[in-house]
Amino acid sequence: MAGLIPPQKLEEIRAASDIVDVIGGYLGPLKRAGANFVTLCPFHREKSPSFNVNPGRQIFHCFGCHKGGDVFTFVKEYENLSFIEAVRRLAERARIVLEFEDNPHAKQARGEKESLLHLHEEICKRWQTALANDAAGQIARDYLAKRGVSAEAVKLFRLGYAPDLWDDTVNWAKSKNFDLKLVERGGLVIRKEGADHFYDRFRGRLMFPICDEQGRVIGFSGRVLAGDEKTAKYVNSPETPIFTKGRVIFGLDKSKRAVADKDCAIICEGQLDLIACFMADVKNVVAPQGTALTADHCRILKRYADEVVLCFDSDNAGQNAAVRSLDILLASGLAIRVATVPAPHDPDSYIKANGGPAFEQLIERAENFFDYYLNRLCVQNDLGADKGRLAVLHAMGEATQKTGNAVLIDTYAQKTAARLGVAPEAARAEFKKIAAAKPKFVLRTDAQPAARAGGLQPPSTAPGTPKRGDSKSPAPDPDSPPDDYYDSQPAAPSEGHSGDVLPGTDPAPEPEAPPSKQEFWLLQALFHSDDQMEWLANTLRLEWLTHLGVRQIVAHRLAGYANQSWHGPAQLLGELPDDAARSLCTQAMAESDRMLATPQPREGEDAARATRIQAEREKARLAMLRDVLTRLRNDFIDRRMSELNRELNAPQLEDSEQNSLLREREQLRQQKKQPLA
């Protein structure tokens, strides 16, 4: 488990991270509107700016989608980070050393991950230099030129070249004082079986850095440039404490904003396909890293978009991969379409032959998955034979049953019947047989859309998916150096390096209905002035409040007053338990500024008259606050009296219980008649 950040360190980072500067750094210059700033909301589509940034309170709030919070919340939501990662990002920006209250095991684990991240960043730079400047890198430069990869794309994706030597990485690591055991742990070198020597995993390959969602290098994929037929086309990093291939999506660090903006992720098979899309200005594209789609891949994509378009190669392997993705995608609740790239193309060659706009049209014309699957089955089977028609019926029946959607199942029973030239009743009967024979297992397709670009979801793990941090021993390279290769090699130093990582996710809360007008008005009053806080603390009872979020905010605000620990709204936001409460709190603060602010005196009013008007308005606000609390108290009394009446009507009620209930009811009646103190 990750360590805790001391509260004083959080406050230091918050104080050094002005929210206007931070948000402006992400979104561009903000437009001043009175005491606040406004811009278009980055979390939903809008034409008129409703995203409000308050420099005084150091909060943001969108009046359109109601997302709000402090500077930590913004970075967390915008970059889709955990809270700890958002704090780390702001600490780095402010050049503040982040400290943790750790147990020894957590500190050691985090130290290893930091060292591995630093190692990967440094070797990435080494391979970039080799590609750009080394004579040996000419083979890789020629390959990229042949594939039409631009210099801008090479720079953006940080492509590199691993020299075709057994010990280039080994010697580089020694020269940089990296412990070779750490380099082995990172999967960059392999220990020779039965010996204490190492050799390079990646040799003579074009190197694609694999990055996490924050753009940090966590692994590599190396493409062979020369070799015999036995040489693997791609060699990928093994799983390490910082890299689990079933949880990494290639290119997402660069495409996540485009995916969120378009509410759609195009999924292709390879790195070069993705790079070709970027060069064609199609940027909402991702690629699974060296594995089929997993539940974790889908969970990650669901944070950003509600729809995926599968755009795999036109060969049988690519199309089979699209079909194999069905179960995982359906379970995630993502809408699925399939874009068929005409043979013999893959996305890369199609874009080069036809251009980016043609590829975008191909994506626009992508079919619903079940339409695509029906068409493919009809091509693969002999529809003139009973066996072929039955095969199509069975395949469509099995696929649609996984949705648990009766309307969809019946729709495709009819569509399948029409394609096969059989009666709809016959197709429905066949689908029902399949349903009866299958286990009662339903894949959800009615999942609610997840918040994009920040609404973090609970983690899920596919059966058999290794957990982050688990590491299997890498398989020995079938092509290892001879036994006497190391006779003259110097010993490796044991110094390590440090870097930056702390992965994590925060579960999203269940949505709650909005509070009543009275409770929301009370929240606004909490942040308008401290003058009424003593009276509120002595008068208001939390049991009068019915909305959970309101109770949480009021409890923290009153506790801060009672303990003399109130240091402003930003601190309160950090104390609230979930994003829903924080959003409600920032909405109340923003409305408080907008609705309860004291109007400026009109031109020509003398100072005494302006002061008198201001005092009258403040008096009216306090009267309104008293009325609101009276209403909340009386509503609570009414609810409690209804409960008492139900209890009094219970059968076999003992006299003592009845008398107690009657006394309480009478006390409540008297309270309701009395004004608040």
The Cα 335–Cα 316 span in angstroms is 23
Closest C-alpha to 314, from 273, 337, 343: 343
- The residue ranking higher by pLDDT, 301 or 121, is 121
Could you name the CATH architecture of 509-677? Orthogonal Bundle (1.10)
The SS3 call for residue 297 is helix
Q: Which tokens in the block code for residue 668?
A: 């409540």
Summarize the confidence of residues 159-168 as an average pLDDT. 96
- The predicted structure's pLDDT at residue 103: 61
- The predicted-structure confidence for 169-227, as pLDDT tens digits, reads as follows 999 999 999 999 999 999 999 998 777 789 999 999 999 999 998 899 999 999 999 76
Q: Which of 215-229, 357-371, 430-444, 566-580 has the lowest mean pLDDT?
A: 430-444
Q: Which of 317-326, 544-553, 662-671 has the lowest mean pLDDT?
A: 317-326
Closest C-alpha to 601, from 615, 619, 620, 622: 615
DSSP E strand boundaries for 84-180? 160-162
Q: Which tokens in the block code for residue 559?
A: 């506790």
Closest C-alpha to 676, from 566, 532, 554: 532
The Cα 367–Cα 71 span in angstroms is 41
- The predicted structure's pLDDT at residue 60: 93
Q: Do strands 307-310 and 264-267 pair parallel, antiparallel, or not at all (unpaired)? A: parallel
Q: Do strands 285-288 and 264-267 pair parallel, antiparallel, or not at all (unpaired)? A: parallel
Instruction: Give the 3-state secondary structure percentages of the chain, helix then strand then coil, rounded to 5.
Output: 50, 10, 40
Please name the residues in contact with 567: beta carbons below 8 A apart, sequence gap of 6 or more: 11, 560
Angle in degrees, CA 444, 446, 452, rounded to 5: 105
- The predicted-structure confidence for 352-401, as pLDDT tens digits, reads as follows 999 999 999 999 999 999 999 898 899 888 998 989 999 999 999 988 98
- The residue ranking higher by pLDDT, 305 or 614, is 305
Q: Give, rounded to a whole angstrom, the gap between the first and last alpha carbons of the chain.
A: 49
Whether the ω angle into residue 466 lies within 30 degrees of 0, i.e. cis, is: no
Neighbours of 659 (CB within 10 A): 10
Tell the residue number behind the tokens 């488990």, with chain if given: 1
Backbone angles phi, psi at 115, to 5 degrees: -65, -40
- The predicted-structure confidence for 104-154, as pLDDT tens digits, reads as follows 766 777 788 889 999 999 999 999 999 999 999 999 999 999 999 999 999
Handedness of CA 331, 336, 340, 341 (dihedral sign): negative
Average pLDDT of the chain?
81
CATH superfamily of this structure's domain 106-244: DNA primase, catalytic core, N-terminal domain (3.90.980.10)
The Cα 125–Cα 129 span in angstroms is 6
What pTM, to 2 d.p., does this model score? 0.59
The SS3 call for residue 287 is strand
Check if CATH label 3.30.70.270 holds for domain 259-437: no
DSSP conformation letters of 175-242: HTT--HHHHHHTTSEEEPTTSS-EEES--SEEEEEEE-TTS-EEEEEEEESS--TTS-SEEEPPPBTT
Tell the residue number behind the tokens 């990582």, with chain if given: 501
pLDDT band at 579 (very low <50, low <70, confident <90, very high): confident
Question: Under a CB-based contact definition with an 8 Å cutoff, are residues 614 and 598 in contact?
Answer: yes
Summarize the confidence of residues 536-543 as an average pLDDT. 87
The Cα 180–Cα 494 span in angstroms is 7
- The predicted-structure confidence for 607-642, as pLDDT tens digits, reads as follows 777 677 767 777 777 888 889 999 999 999 999 999
The full set of domain ranges for the chain reads: 1-101, 106-244, 259-437, 509-677
CATH superfamily of this structure's domain 1-101: Zinc finger, CHC2-typedomain (3.90.580.10)
The Cα 329–Cα 312 span in angstroms is 15
